[in-house]
Amino acid sequence: MLSYVIRRLLLMIVTLFGVSVAIFLLLRIVPGNIADILFDSAGLIDPAEKQKIVVDLGLDKPLPLQYAQWIAGLFRGDLGYSYVSEKPVIDEILPRIPITARLAGIALLFAVCTGVPLGVISAVRQNTWLDYGLRILSLSGLSMPAFWLGLLILMAFVHFFGTIPIYEREPATYWAWIQMLVIPAAAVGFRSSALIMRLTRSSMLEVLRQDYVRTARAKGLSEGAVTFDHALRNAVLPVITTIGVETAFLMGGLIVTETVFNIPGVARFLVEAIRWRDYPMVQNLVMFIALVVVTVNLLVDLTYMFVDPRIRYGG
Amino acid sequence: MTLGFLARLMLACLLISCAGLAGAQAQKQGGMLRVTHRDNPPSASIHEEATISTDMPFMAVFNNLVVFDPDSPQNRLDRIVPDLATSWKYSDDDRTLTFQLRDGVKWHDGKPFTSADVKCTWDIVTGKVDGKMRKNPRKTWWFNIKEITTNGPLEVAFHLNDPQPSLLVMLAGGFSPVYPCHVPAAQMRIHPIGTGPFKFIEFRQNESIRLERNPDYWKPGRPYLDGIEYSIIANRSTAILALVAGKFDLTLTGEVTPELVKDVKAQVPQMQCLLQPSNTQGNLLVNRERPPFDDARIRRAMGLAIDRKAFSDILSRGVYNVGGAMLAPPEGLWGWTPEFMATVPGYSADVEKSREEGRRIMAELGYGPDKMLPLKVSTRNIADYRDAAVILIDHLKTVYIQAELEPLDSAVWYARLARKDYAVGMNVQGTGIDDPDVMFFENYLCGSERNYTAYCNPELEKLFHQQSMMKDQDARRQLVWEIDRKLQEDGARPVVYQSQGGTCWWPHVKGLKLAVNSIYNHWRFEDVWLDR
């Protein structure tokens, strides 16, 4: 078991190294840099002045040196300065992390708490009106883009309640605070919820036809014990894998949801930073997101050990 | 068309007058004005930026030497009033402009304002002194300033190479605040210090900008508001919904499209909305250094293919203005009258006749329905640019040009413009002030940085200088029309449309006075108050 954990940890380090190289190179391969944008957006095209800013920002140094300086800074906890705001990157990122983390956490919780039970119900009540209804719901979740759903929700709130659940730094009431968190989370988590629901359903249907389930029923166990203790425990493995993958997808959904609900989180900030080619900001934000995704996947791998004894003993 | 123009101007003046009348009521002190903002300003330093995203939120932090009279709906030379300067006078030869400055004014950090700050500001923006600014986008505005001298702490003189009445107009614009000498440029970008009615408190990237009442403001009893908070809302739909829901009092200026103005008014009939020229124009860029576009005949044919009314109808349901380089009347001071415009090639109401002429030119050059000229129309990949480029491609087909759209990321678009690495482009460009000096010297001067098409006509340049020196503004207007006609005839940068944008605010916002010919100059907010 220990060697399984060590292997996973080593893999995580290699993955993060690969991600760091990829981010660094990709950002510099993309046409246009911050000097282009800063100068040309203001209508300036004097090459000498542009070169001055290139030198000021250290963009004229060799790429390996720039990479080494960045990684060394990461180990020292020095993420550098934003080219745009001219403030330390850490000061820009830190206040935004809790906002996005809270939103992503609630969205994931929403996805799991609705997706798994509804998937089980859909499987157990296969080919009933309830099953058809839930399947339509899950298909809608997969088909609707998060930004469109978000806008529909906002329009409905303005039309029916005369208010709008967008982000406020200091919400007036506790109810406003709940709205501000839960509604965007539901909008972004709906897709993941639909995916988990469909996966749980198909996985459960497969397991429910297995011999050991028939045996459990033949032993006289209650339908609840058969469904949850025997079937769901075996059906949930692919669902756990999906939760890991969905964490990465959730970041994509968060970008649009943070934009539509005007939430000043990490995801929206990342898009702005990319638009401005703010290298220190983008590099560190993407590394942070990569760290989160890799960590979640590590946790998923570790969860396997507890859910599936074959991994524990085989490791 | 004239009646439509007049109706729009009357409506605008009515709205502005209503807002002005509100000033006659008993003003209430206090309250936070909540304003929507569309994007993250590149920095807080007005002198280093060329966008309303910086100008509108930070103008209230500063003062100018002079300002456009806020009670005048048109920004114009004869409606300029004192700000940090109490009076001004030209020398007999009109080559020296001397300002007497206000005594007892303090910067927000408590230091006194003096003539040295004025000299220092314009020494930097003219490029005489390295002020460590990252950018200096309006350096060309100040081409005529030879030297700035001070005479004691309360007198400053601008010495000019030639007489230039428009200098005062440029000094009155929102892009010309006086900066403090003792604050470095790097700090002005993130924490600006001014003498204005509001102090800078906080600028959270992609989130908000907060200003607070300056209790030591030199104008007694002003401002009325406790503060102003701009919330950066990248999604326009969200911003409009939040305005309708009452989360905000005012929108960023020009951000409400003509269609959205209708929608907002339908949802909230009491909402005040003003459509005004956004000081931006869509123009066709043709790289005259790249064959076959080095042939003036092809450029002319392209210009003849454009149906300007169709652009206005499709992009704005007929709200956008049609005109030359200068903003069209009645809002604009220097644009052609409709009668004059009808005499300019390519502006005739008979578009089919113009296109017939275009086809004849192209046929002479060997092109026809079976042999179309292939080209790419490059543009910035955002809706305002892309939509116009698609219409342009359709129009070019009428003169045997088969164009393909090349949408470019903003960074790439600007870089390509700078390198002149394009053949044909659809561009949308803003101009800070409705004044010929700003327009001609910035965009059409040989070798000017923003002269993207490398147009160069030394004879016309003489006329640029001639109009700049003219004191008689009516005579100057006639000359400006002729210069504008020549620019369009030469296909220097054919102007396709002049945009309009809306600004909306709730009726409880009082004392807000906007101009019809500029979106950049009325954001001091010192007379604005909230009646709620």
Encode pLDDT of B57-82 as tens digits. 999 999 999 999 999 999 999 999 99
Distance CA A134, CA B437 (A): 67
Contact yes or no for B415 and A40 at CB 8 A: yes
Q: Kindly state the tokens that stand for B251.
A: 């929108």
Distance CA B28, CA B529 (A): 6
Q: In what order do the strands lie in the sheet with B272-286?
A: B401-408, B373-380, B424-430, B272-286, B495-505
> How far is the alpha carbon of A184 from chain B, nearest alpha carbon, in Å?
13
Which residue of A32, A86, A268 is in closest CB contact with B190?
Answer: A86
User: What letter would DSSP give residue B336?
Assistant: P
Of chain B, the percentage scoring pLDDT greater than 90 comes to: 73
Residue B418 has pLDDT above 80, yes or no: no
Grouping H, G, I as helix, E, B as strand and the rest as coil, residue B248 is coil
Which residue of B49, B247, B414 is in closest CB contact with A164?
Answer: B247
* pLDDT recorded at residue B23: 46
C-beta separation of B376 from B404 below 8 A: yes
Element (H, E) at A99: helix A97-124
Query: CA Rg, chain A, in Å?
Result: 24
C-beta separation of B426 from B392 below 8 A: yes
Residue A4 to residues A244, A293, A297, A298, A313: CA-CA distances in angstroms? 18, 19, 14, 11, 10
C-beta separation of A212 from A162 below 8 A: no
Of chain B, the percentage scoring pLDDT greater than 70 comes to: 94
Q: Which residues of B145-158 are buried (b: 16+ CB within 10 A; e: fewer)?
A: beebebeeebebbb
> How far is the alpha carbon of A94 from chain B, nearest alpha carbon, in Å?
13
Angle between helices B473-489 and B458-469 (to 10 degrees): 160
| Among B496, B415, B58, B454, CA closest to B252 | B58
Confidence of residue B288 (pLDDT cuts 50, 70, 90): confident
Asked if ipTM goes beyond 0.90, one says no
C-beta separation of B301 from B361 below 8 A: yes
Give the 3-state DSSP-derived string for B465-485, with helices as H, strands as E and coil as C.
HHHHHCCCHHHHHHHHHHHHH
The distance of Cα A70 from the centroid of its chain, to the nearest Å, equals 25
B244 to chain A, any CB pair closer than 8 A? The answer is yes
| Among A102, A99, A77, CA closest to A189 | A102
Query: CA nearest B191 in A: which residue?
Result: A85
* The residue to which tokens 């109808």 are assigned: B313
Q: Count Cβ–Cβ pairs < 8 Å, chain A vs chain B.
A: 119
| Among B268, B258, B225, CA closest to B512 | B225
B247 to chain A, any CB pair closer than 8 A? The answer is yes
- pLDDT tens, residue by residue, B365-391: 999 999 999 999 999 887 888 999 999
C-beta separation of B430 from B414 below 8 A: no
B134 to chain A, any CB pair closer than 8 A? The answer is yes
| Among B68, B44, B61, CA closest to B333 | B68
Alpha helices in B322-457 (DSSP H): 338-341, 351-364, 383-396, 410-419, 436-443
Query: CA nearest A171 in B: which residue?
Result: B247
Element (H, E) at B503: strand B495-505
What type of residue sits at position A24? F
Average pLDDT for B236-241: 92
Which residue of B134, B189, B415 is in closest CB contact with A36?
Answer: B415
Element (H, E) at B499: strand B495-505
> How far is the alpha carbon of A122 from chain B, nearest alpha carbon, in Å?
36
Average pLDDT of chain A, as a whole number: 86
- pLDDT tens, residue by residue, B89-142: 999 999 999 999 999 999 999 999 999 999 999 999 999 998 888 878 888 899
* pLDDT recorded at residue B347: 86
Q: Kindly state the tokens that stand for B248.
A: 């905000």
Distance CA A167, CA A154 (A): 12
C-beta separation of B351 from B399 below 8 A: no
- The distance between the two most distant Cα atoms of chain A, rounded to a whole number of Å, is 85
> How far is the alpha carbon of B408 from chain A, nearest alpha carbon, in Å?
10
What is the DSSP pairing of strand B227-232 with strand B208-213? antiparallel
Say how many CA atoms lie within 13 Å of B467 toward its Cβ. Answer: 23
Average pLDDT for B38-67: 92
Contacts of A84 in chain B (CB under 8 A): 40, 42-43, 205
C-beta separation of B501 from B254 below 8 A: yes
- pLDDT tens, residue by residue, B314-354: 998 899 999 999 999 999 999 999 999 988 888 888 899 99
- pLDDT tens, residue by residue, A99-147: 999 999 999 999 999 999 999 999 999 999 999 999 999 999 999 888 8
* pLDDT recorded at residue B64: 98
The distance of Cα A50 from the centroid of its chain, to the nearest Å, equals 37
* pLDDT recorded at residue A241: 84
> How far is the alpha carbon of A19 from chain B, nearest alpha carbon, in Å?
24
Q: How many Cβ atoms sit within 10 Å of the Cβ of residue A65?
A: 10
Q: Mutating which of B32, B48, B238 best tests the A interface, going by the most A Cβ atoms within 10 A?
A: B238
Confidence of residue A179 (pLDDT cuts 50, 70, 90): confident
Q: Quick one: B113 exposed, middle or buried, by C-beta within 10 A (0-12, 13-18, 19+)?
A: buried
Q: Kindly state the tokens that stand for B63.
A: 């003062």
Angle between helices A233-260 and A279-307 (to 10 degrees): 160
C-beta separation of B392 from B399 below 8 A: no
Angle between helices A279-307 and A63-76 (to 10 degrees): 60
Between residues A54 and A299, the one the model is more confident about: A299
Q: Kindly state the tokens that stand for B147.
A: 């030297």
Q: Mutating which of B38, B55, B135 best tests the A interface, going by the most A Cβ atoms within 10 A?
A: B135
Strand spans (E) along B214-369: 227-232, 272-286
Interface of A with B in 87-106 (CB under 8 A): 87, 92
Residue A135 to residues A3, A128, A141, B266, B288: CA-CA distances in angstroms? 42, 11, 10, 38, 60
* pLDDT recorded at residue B22: 46
What is the DSSP pairing of strand B208-213 with strand B198-204? antiparallel
Q: Which residues of B184-209 are buried (b: 16+ CB within 10 A; e: fewer)?
A: ebeebbeebbbbbbbbbeebbbbbbb
* pLDDT recorded at residue A314: 60
C-beta separation of B450 from B442 below 8 A: yes
Give the 3-state DSSP-derived string for B106-154, with helices as H, strands as E and coil as C.
ECCCCCECCHHHHHHHHHHHCCCCCCCCCCCCCHHHHCCEEEEEECCCC
Residue B470 has pLDDT above 90, yes or no: yes
* pLDDT recorded at residue B3: 46
Cα-flanking dihedrals φ and ψ of residue B300, to 5°? -65, -45
Q: Kindly state the tokens that stand for A15.
A: 């993955």
- pLDDT tens, residue by residue, A187-243: 999 999 999 999 999 999 999 999 999 999 899 888 889 988 889 888 888 888 888
Distance CA A189, CA A201 (A): 18
What is the DSSP pairing of strand B66-68 with strand B80-82? antiparallel
Say how many CA atoms lie within 13 Å of B261 toward its Cβ. Answer: 20
Torsion angle of C-alpha atoms A191, A192, A198, A200, degrees rounded to 10: -160
> How far is the alpha carbon of A261 from chain B, nearest alpha carbon, in Å?
7
Contact yes or no for B190 and A85 at CB 8 A: yes
Q: Mutating which of A158, A168, A179, A279 best tests the B interface, going by the most B Cβ atoms within 10 A?
A: A158
* pLDDT recorded at residue B14: 53
Helix and strand element counts for chain B (H, E): 16, 17
